[in-house]
Amino acid sequence: MAGGGEKQDRDPLPLSRRGGGFSFPSGRYPTADALRFEWLLPGHGDRRHLPAAEAWRRMQALATRTATLRPRPVDFTATRW
């Protein structure tokens, strides 16, 4: 807030702790290039530990692959819900 005396947030990836998890402030999502981690804790499947450099390399490869994807229509009748 202007004039509120609050210090300027200089952290490029600030996190808020809400409801037992972490979230990024609105509109300030990190890019794959900025992420550094060693553990992957998926909602489903096994945990995975990799050296930070390897996890970063794989994240970069995933971002590169997904950048080439084009939207396709979804056939919701193909699956019985």
- Is residue 17 assigned to a domain? no
Q: What is the pTM assigned to this prediction? A: 0.51
Give residues with Cβ within 8 angstroms of 59, minimum separation 6.
32, 35
Count of domains for the chain: 1
Write out the residue range of the structural domain in which residue 61 sits: 35-68
- Is residue 28 assigned to a domain? no
Our separate counts of H helices and E strands in the chain read: 1, 4
- Each residue's pLDDT tens digit, 26-73: 666 677 778 788 998 888 889 999 999 999 999 889 889 998 999 889
- Is residue 43 assigned to a domain? yes
Question: What per-residue confidence (pLDDT) applies to 57?
Answer: 92
- Is residue 53 assigned to a domain? yes
In this model, does residue 17 exceed pLDDT 90?
A: no
- Is residue 77 assigned to a domain? no
- Is residue 61 assigned to a domain? yes
In this model, does residue 80 exceed pLDDT 80?
A: no
| Phi and psi angles of residue 23, each rounded to the nearest 5 degrees, phi first | -140, 155
- Is residue 63 assigned to a domain? yes
- Is residue 73 assigned to a domain? no
